[in-house]
Chain A
Amino acid sequence: MNIIVCAKQVVDISEMKLDSSTKKPILQGVPQKISDIDKNAMEEAIKIKEKNGGKITVLTVGPTDAKERIKELLAMGADEGVLVNPPDNPDYHVVSSLLAGAIKKIGEYDLVLCGEASTDMFSGQIGPRLAGLLNIPQVTYAQSLNAEKEKITAERNMGDKLVSEESTYPVLVSVTKEINEPRLPSLMQILGAANKPINEMTAESIESGVKPVVDTIELKGIPMERKNIIYKDDLDESVTKLVDSLAKEGVLR
C-alpha cells in the first residue's frame, strides 16, 4: 500500500511570545516543528504499513530548512521525503496545488493522510481542498481507522455526531489528535534517517506560474484587557473580596 503523509512545518506556538505593546506575536527566532496533528497522521501511516505492508512518503511544502523536520518523520518510520519549495507568500490555493502536483509526480498512491488542521493556522482547509483537487473521496476528522486491503473504515468525530464511514482507495483521510500517541524514534532510527532520501522539487517544475488568490495584508495583535486583580493572602478574606467584586460587576444575578 502506498501512503503519502502531508506534513507542515510550523512555529512552535508554545514558544511564541507576544510584543508587550502591540500584542502582535513575535515570529522571528521561534523554534520550528512539525505540526502536532501531522505527527498523528504519520503514526497512523506507520501502523497501517506495519499491518498491510507498503511504502510511506512524507510530503511537505515549505522552506529549505523544513528538510530537518522531514528527517524527524523519516526517523519515526517514513521511507522517503519530498520537499517542495513554494513561491513567496503562498496561500491555500498555492499550497494545495503544489501538494496535488507533487502527488501526481510521486505516482501511484492509495492513501493520503493528513492532520485535521495545522497548529499555527488551524484552518483544516488543506486536506479536503487537496481531495477536491485530486478528485478522490475524503474522510475527515477520523478518530480511529481500520485499513484493510480493499477498503478503509473510519470513525469520524463530527462534534455532536459520531459517523462511521468506509471508502475504497484512493482516498484522503484527515485524523484528529485523539487517534493515537505518536512514537518517539530511537537513537538508531534517528541515525538511520540520515540515509533515507529527501527529494527536493521546485514549485516551477510542478505547477508553473501558480499564484495566490488570497493575500494576507496584515497580522494584528489581539488586545486582551483584563483587570488582573489577584488575591493571594488570607483565603477567607480573598473569597469575600472576590464575591463582593463579582456582585459589583453584576454577574452574580
Chain B
Amino acid sequence: MVLVYSDDKKIAFELLNKANELAKDLKTKPTAIIIGKPDETLAKEYISYGAENVIAAETDLDNFKAEEYADIIENIVKDTKIETVLIGSNKNGKELASRLAGKINAGCVIDCTDVYLKDKKLTVERVVYSGNAITVEQFNSKPEIVTIPPKVFDPLPKDEKRKGEVTKKKFDFEKSTSKILNVQDMKTGGVNVEDAEIIVSCGRGFKNKDDIKLIQDLADVLKGKTVGCSRPISADLKWLSEDHWIGLSGHKVKPKLYIAAGISGQIQHIAGMRDSGIVVAINKDPEALIFKSADYGIVGDLYEVLPKLTNAVKQKLG
C-alpha cells in the first residue's frame, strides 16, 4: 500500500494524487491516514480526492507530538505491511518522517520535488546546496519514506462519487515525557507570500524600517499587494514578521512577477524565489548577484527608483 499522511489536509489531497499514480504502477491501493478524534467528513473528503482506503487512527491527543505520532504510524506500517509512506513536508511532517525512519531503519528523503519509479525502484529528486543543484536518489530497501512540500503536485479533481473504505482502529503508542506548555500564533502580518501572484520584496539595501513604505506603495499599485523580504529584514532586524520572509529557511514562492529591491541575491534568497515567473531586480551595485537571476533590472538607488517606478506603473495601469 502507498500511505499518505499530513496534518494539513490540503497537502494530503495533493499527495493522494501522487499516491494514486504510484499505487497504479505498484498494483496496490492509495491509503490516507487520519490521526486524532473521529472525523467522518475528513475521511469522506480523502476518498473524494482519491484515497481508496482511509485508516482512522483514533486518539484523544490534543497536540501533535512527533514521538507519539511516529509510534502510531510505525504500528500502522507494521500492521498493514505498508511499503511506501508519503508525508506532507511541513515542520511537523519533516520531524515525524525522520523520527519514524530512525525507529524502523527506513530510508527517508525530505522535501522531494519529484517522485517516480525508475527501474522499478522508488526514485526521488530534491533540491540541495541552497537551491543550486538537484540530487536524484533511489531507495534500495523498504519501507520507503518521502516527504513532499505543499504545491509540488496538484490534487486530483474532487469527485464525491469515488468509493473507498474507512477502517477505524486504535493503535498503541508510548506517551511522550515531553510536555507542551503553550501554543500561540506567531506574530504575523497576515501575509501569505506562497499564494501571492505579485511580490515586491525588500532587503538589506533599505536603511530604515520606515523606508519599507516605498515597497508597500509599489505593492499597492500592483495587483497582488504582497510584500516580501530577505532574511535580514525579518529574522535579524525584525522590521517585518517572518511570514514575509522569502528564502531557503523562509517561504518558497512562485509568483508571476517578483520584484527584488535592495536584495543582493545570495543563493539562500534565490532558493526561495527561483521558480518565480518574471523577476525584476533593483540594486545600486551593478555586480549584485541578483541581476544574474533577473529578467529585467535597473541599476540605481532604490530610494530614487522605487517612487518613479510606482508612478510609472500607476500611469500605465491608468
Contacts and interface: CB of A to CB of B under 8 A. Distances in A.
Contact of A129 (B101, B248, B286, B294): B101
Contact of A122 (B183, B248, B293, B316): B248
Given A13-B267, A226-B293, A245-B296, A161 B178 contact: no
A190 B309 CA distance: 52
A178 B178 CA distance: 23
B131 interface: yes
B107 A137 contact: no
Contacts of B134: 219-222
B151 interface: no
Interface string A58-99: 000000000000000000000000000000000111001100
Given A165-B179, A243-B309, A123 B132 contact: no
A177 B94 CA distance: 18
Contacts of A245: 296
Interface string B284-318: 00100001111111111000110011001100110
Interface string B50-73: 000000000000000011001000
Chain A interface main SS type = mixed
- Chain A contact residues (Cβ within 8 angstroms of B): what range? 35 or more
Contacts of A178: 235
Contacts, number: 265
A103 to B, nearest CB: 13
Contacts of A200: none
A166 interface: yes
Contacts of B107: 91-93, 213-214
Contact of A232 (B105, B131, B139, B298): B298
A74 B285 CA distance: 39
A253 interface: yes
B308 to A, nearest CB: 5
Interface string B250-273: 000000110000000011000000
Interface stretch (B17-25, B36-44, B163-171, B184-192): B184-192
A172 to B, nearest CB: 10
A213 B140 contact: yes
17 contacts: A14-B267, A121-B129, A128-B94, A132-B101, A138-B66, A140-B91, A157-B242, A160-B186, A216-B135, A216-B137, A219-B136, A229-B297, A230-B294, A230-B296, A231-B296, A235-B300, A252-B257
Interface of B: 66-67, 70, 90-92, 94-103, 105-111, 123, 125, 127-141, 176-186, 188, 198, 222-223, 235, 242-243, 248-249, 256-257, 266-267, 274, 277-280, 286, 291-300, 304-305, 308-309, 312-313, 316-317
Given A128-B98, A222-B133, A229-B297, 6 more contacts: A93-B105, A120-B129, A124-B98, A128-B102, A141-B91, A167-B177
